[in-house]
Amino acid sequence: MSFFTEENQKRAENIFSQYPDKRSCALPLLHLAQSQEGYLSNETIEKVAEMCEIEPSEMMDTASFYTMFFRKPMGKYRIQVCQTLSCSLAGADKVVDHFAKKLKIQPGETTKDGKFSLLKVECLGSCGTGPVVQLNDDYIEGKTIEELDRTIDDL
Amino acid sequence: MTKMLTQFIEQENCHTLDFYLKNGGYNQAKRAILEMSADEIIEIAKQSNLRGRGGAGFPAGMKWSFIPRDIDKPKYLISNADEGEPGTFKDRVLLSKNPHQMFDGMIIAAKAIDCHLAFVYIRGEFKKEAEILENAIAEAKEKNILGKRIFGSDFDFDIVVHRGAGAYICGEETALIESIEGKRGQPRIKPPFPAIEGYLQCPTVVNNVETFAALPPIFENGAQWFVDLGVENSAGTKLFSISGHVKNPGVFEVPMGTPLHDLIYNDEFCGGMKDDIPLKSVIPGGSSSPILTAKEIDGLTMDYDAIQKAGSMLGSGAVIVMNETTDMVQVCYNLARFYAHESCGQCTPCREGTAWLIKILKRFTSGGARQEDIELLLDITDNIGGLVDFSQGSFGKTICPFGEAVSWPVRALVEKFLPEFEKRVQEK
Ligand SMILES: Cc1cc2nc3c(=O)[nH]c(=O)nc-3n(C[C@H](O)[C@H](O)[C@H](O)COP(=O)(O)O)c2cc1C
Ligand code: FES
């Protein structure tokens, strides 16, 4: 039996139907599993490995390589601040410092109530609208610290 | 000015199939499938002198011609939508505003290499764009443009959207293939090249999003039309993503050979330097391309040959502009940190070298730099990348050109802005 919900199990089957081999479904299934569970526990990774018919260690090897796969629970809201050159030229460093102070956490940490995680990330592919912040999946582009604050305060 | 990729992006619903079809969309894919042979398609691509828009500038038609014909294996086609090179944000425009033009081009290329299953490898963060692509594929399937027996032919062709998961190196084509195979994104040793052994050991072509999107207009207007749009050795128009200290950053489609000065200062493009602070330096082709000083960009035109002559490269067409207030030591640290974070860890010179670079550069940004550290920085860049010609591919000390991609910009920054580094030594 799959650990996926019924709806996600259907999605998984649809994924398998698109690829010529099972292991190629690793990334799509890890994304799906993470969207369901919030992060990828050892157990989750083992389940996905089983579905792809590879060793758990092989799936672990894959999952651990990619920064978008979280190996521990994350805050409900992930504030991901791009720190690469164009965004840095547009003042991204100040944005990180601001949120670290505001939320009283260091980059990489999650607030005690589990609401926010602050992450420094590398170029998000939107360098013309820096500073770029990705709030969970959504891009917030070219906003001042005050505007960003308002968005975060409303959550 | 002729535009062939972005002429409609301001218009409502430009991403929909209806809109695309109303403007002549998929006529060329249909012609390729129903009327043209693989050889005819490859010949037009070659004559057009379309060079890959992902960074290396390899001729697209030639790449397709390397795919073996008489072998009993499936062939695969991949659109590289990883858009990872810092400074680059052009493909996102095409993916979100004009996805069908890329598919149109992918169908043409599929016919050329006899491929029936293709992937779009899109960076994981572009979740919205991935959804737009999925919807566009569903639309196209309904109209028999994708799927079984497309356009009523006996040719099947499907496209699968495959999301990455946050790794710059997966933009490198063999790492990308590993990643689709469900593995760590670690580049493969070449040869064999993907054209012989790519995805699942089958012949595979990887092209950039913009490369595919350029095909339909080339097939509509003819190879010579495309050649005439540009300049010698650089045909067509090109998307430039311009960021940094300019008034209006953005993505601009202009003919190859357009003066950089126009792009930065003309009102129809960036409209000049932000706050009118004078320009100090420009990274012309993405973070991996060596930086150019204000003097070096004097009279520079944006085409492969001119930028190479100036000592850098056109790369992905990502221009990062910096003004006089910019601290070049900090820029150097920022870029080195990016590469240290993104090194896949496979090759020792790159894994260890990038870690050393940031350790030493930290001394320049935070105090404690010694005179001999300057020499040390240059030594390390030689150790990682060697002094090879990036435009010719990777002949350096690492499996993939990532080694050069970090060495070149760091070396150029230290050499061209040496006084700023020396000042930090004295400051300690
Ligand atoms: C470290 C590294 C990162 C790369 N990232 C990208 C990328 O994000 N997008 C892209 O199209 N090509 C990227 N490339 C180039 C690809 O390896 C490949 O040359 C390209 O996708 C081929 O398509 P083209 O010939 O149409 O340009 C990268 C290369 C290297 C070495
Ligand atoms: S540098 Fe921040 S999005 Fe590219």
In chain A, what are the domain boundaries? 6-65, 77-153
Of all residues in chain B, the one with the smallest CA distance to A91 is: B244
Q: Is the dihedral of CA B354, B355, B360, B364 positive or negative?
A: positive
pLDDT at res. A33: 98
pLDDT at res. A2: 64
Residues of chain A found within 8 Å of residue B88, distances taken between Cβ atoms: 125, 127
Residues of chain A found within 8 Å of residue B285, distances taken between Cβ atoms: none
Instruction: List chain B residues with pLDDT less than 70.
Output: 387-395, 428
- Tens of pLDDT along chain A (155 residues)? 468 999 999 999 999 999 999 999 999 999 999 999 999 999 999 999 999 999 999 999 999 999 999 999 999 999 999 999 999 999 999 999 999 999 999 999 999 999 999 999 999 999 999 999 999 999 999 999 999 999 999 99
pLDDT at res. A1: 47
Sheet holding B250-255, edge to edge: B250-255, B237-244, B318-323, B279-283, B292-293
DSSP run (H or E) holding B163: strand B158-163
The alpha carbon of B330 is separated from its chain's Cα centroid by a whole number of angstroms, namely 25
**What's the number of CA atoms in the CB half-sphere (13 Å) around residue B284?**
29
Total-model pTM: 0.97
**What's the number of CA atoms in the CB half-sphere (13 Å) around residue A138?**
6
CA dihedral B211, B44, B284, B164 (to 10 degrees): 20
Test mutation, A29, A127, A132, A140, chain B, max B CBs within 10 A: A127
**CA gap A96, A98 in Å, rounded:** 5
Q: How many CB atoms lie within 10 A of CB A55?
A: 12
Q: Ligand 1 in contact with B84 (CB < 6 A)?
A: yes
CATH class belonging to A6-65:
mainly alpha
pLDDT at res. B306: 97
- Tens digits of per-residue pLDDT, B159-210? 999 999 999 999 999 999 999 999 999 999 999 999 999 999 999 999 999 9
Q: Ligand 2 in contact with A29 (CB < 6 A)?
A: no
| Chain B residues 123-152 with a CB less than 8 Å from chain A | 123-128
- Per DSSP, B22 falls in state H
> Which regions of B99-154 does DSSP assign to beta strands (E)?
117-122
Q: Are B303 and B318 in contact (CB under 8 A)?
A: no
Shortest CA gap B89–chain A (Å): 5
Protein fold of A77-153: Glutaredoxin (3.40.30)
- Per DSSP, A75 falls in state -
